[in-house]
Amino acid sequence: MNPPARNCLILASASPRRSELLDREGIEFEIRPANIPEQQRRGEKATDFAERLAREKAIAVARRSGPAPDRRVLGADTIVVLDGEVFGKPRDPAHAIAMLTRLTGREHVVVTAIALVSSGTLKTRFTSVSTRVRMRNVAPEEIRAYVATGEPLDKAGAYAIQGEGRRLVESIQGSETNVIGLPVEETLKMLQDEDRPGTST
**pLDDT tens, N- to C-terminus, the chain (201 residues):** 333 444 689 999 999 999 999 999 999 999 999 989 889 999 999 999 999 999 999 999 999 999 999 999 999 999 999 999 999 899 999 999 999 999 999 999 999 999 999 999 999 999 999 999 999 999 999 999 999 999 999 999 999 999 999 999 999 999 999 999 999 999 999 999 865 544 444
In degrees, rounded to 5, the angle at the alpha carbon of residue 81 between the alpha carbons of residues 127 and 54 is: 30
What is the model's pLDDT at position 194? 67
**Domain covering 9-193 in this structure, CATH number:** 3.90.950.10
Quote the pLDDT of residue 200: 44
Helix/strand/coil for 107:
strand
Length of the chain: 201
Supply the pLDDT for residue 2. Answer: 39
What pLDDT sits at residue 8? Answer: 86
pLDDT of residue 165: 95
End-to-end CA distance of the chain, in Å? 35
Catalytic sites, residue numbers: 77
Any idea where the domains of the chain sit in the sequence? 9-193
**What is the reported pLDDT for 193?**
82
| C-alpha 7: how far from chain center | 23
Where b means 16+ CB within 10 Å and e means fewer, 60-85 reads bbbeebeeeeebbbbbbbbbbbbeee
Give dist(CA 133, CA 165) in Å, integer.
12
Cα separations in angstroms, 75 against 13, 49, 91, 93, 146:
7, 13, 23, 27, 29
Distance, CA of 133 to CA of 96 (rounded, Å): 17
Asked if 13 and 31 count as a contact pair (C-beta separation under 8 A), the reply is yes
